[in-house]
Amino acid sequence: MYSSLSPAALAELRRQRPYPAVSLVMPTHRRRPENAQDPVRLHNLVSEAERRLDADPGVTADRREDVLAQLRTAVAETDLAHAADGLLVFAAPGEHQVWAVDRPVPERVVLADTFLTRNLVAADAAARPYWVLSVAADRIALWAGRGERVTRDTDHGFPMDRDLEDPDAERKERVGDLPSTFRDEQARQFFRDADTALAKLLATEGRPLYVTGEPAALTLLGEVGDAARGAVQVPFGGLAHGAPDAVAKAVAPAREEDARRAVTEALAGLDRARGGHTYAAGVDEVWQKASDARIHRLVVEEDFRTTVRAGEGHLEPARDDDLDAVHDIVDEIVESTLESGGEVVFVPDGTLAEAGHIAAVLRF
């Protein structure tokens, strides 16, 4: 199962496909006894997809069998014992993908010529993805973080390693010409190479960056390049050779401080927007502004969900069992905001109670 969404992965998911591209979306459970129902619900969703494929005159018999085979393979590859809060199964002729997300999703079966990505995008934004660069004299490692989870990244030129053995060290020490670990030219070139790789990564996948290492290593990284300028420094050594859990624990206090600062700044921005008449609040008004690509910053409570019907330019409350209702309108607003270049900030539940749990700073 995939869990880390990159811009390249999202672009690939959004490309047009031969009809039908099937998207199965369902909530899942992390613990017993609730997770016992997940295999049954997934089986029922596959049966519903099969029923819709059978009833669709635009689907040929060969294509139907192809997509169903892809769905069954995807289900066989899905390990629900390691499920998160939501599951997305995508299947189209000749391909399938399974994604686990750390955010509840509504149960849906969708047949289209593209995959349904709004829940995936919203979950990725809510998880606040980030990078951690761990620097040491002999290794520089990269970690991808999502919420409290950190995984080793090996797709962007990291880890980088070098041998600290100097065959001429004994003579240099005798004549007093042996530089310190972080002062010789080889070390500087090693850190320059890391800076170059990091700059390339951030240019394509910009995320908040945390840099861990001994103070001398952090100083050298700042001296040789600019890629890590503005990153949060965490003076904690040993993590370049460490385990993901240790990295996550080391950066947790800095991440929590950043999250508090982001909430404070977002709420202050909403206050300024009220005075400048660039403010929108409530799901109906914010949805309209997102549809017009007018949102500069969207601020939404972390667990806000609401079921609506889309009327003539407005949203109306709807029951969860309404077949014509939209169950993931908040995720749709999040995706629209990000697609138009806006920023999304999630805040604790109850923070925006007076604004209807969702508000925005408008571009104009």
Q: What is the pLDDT of residues 1-37, one digit of tens each?
A: 888 888 889 999 999 999 999 999 999 998 888 888 9
At 322, is the pLDDT very low, low, confident or very high (cuts 50, 70, 90)? Answer: confident
Q: Which two tokens stand for residue 41?
A: 């619900």
Q: Is the pLDDT of residue 212 over 80?
A: yes
Q: What's the pLDDT at 198?
A: 98
Q: Is the pLDDT of residue 172 over 70?
A: no
Q: Which two tokens stand for residue 256?
A: 């929590």
Residue 101's nearest CA partner among 142, 67, 129, 76 is 129
Q: Which two tokens stand for residue 356?
A: 């209807």
Please write the tens of the pLDDT for every residue from 100-156.
Answer: 999 999 999 999 999 999 999 999 999 899 999 999 999 999 999 998 899 999 999
Residue with tokens 């996948």: 205
Q: Which residues contact 309 (CB under 8 A, 6 or more apart)?
A: 315, 316, 317, 318, 322, 324, 325, 326
Residue 359 CA, chain-centre distance (Å), reads 22
| Residue 134 · residue 18 · CB < 8 Å | no
Residue 326's nearest CA partner among 179, 116, 102, 169 is 116
Q: What's the pLDDT at 176?
A: 39
Q: Is the pLDDT of residue 175 over 60?
A: no
Residue 125 corresponds to which amino acid?
A
SS3 call for 47: helix
Q: What's the pLDDT at 199?
A: 97
Q: What's the pLDDT at 184?
A: 84
- The reported pTM is 0.85
For residues 298-319, average pLDDT? 92
Q: Is the pLDDT of residue 355 over 70?
A: yes
For residues 317-346, average pLDDT? 92
335's enclosing H/E stretch is helix 329-339
Q: What's the pLDDT at 81?
A: 86
Average pLDDT, the chain: 92
Q: Is the pLDDT of residue 178 over 70?
A: no
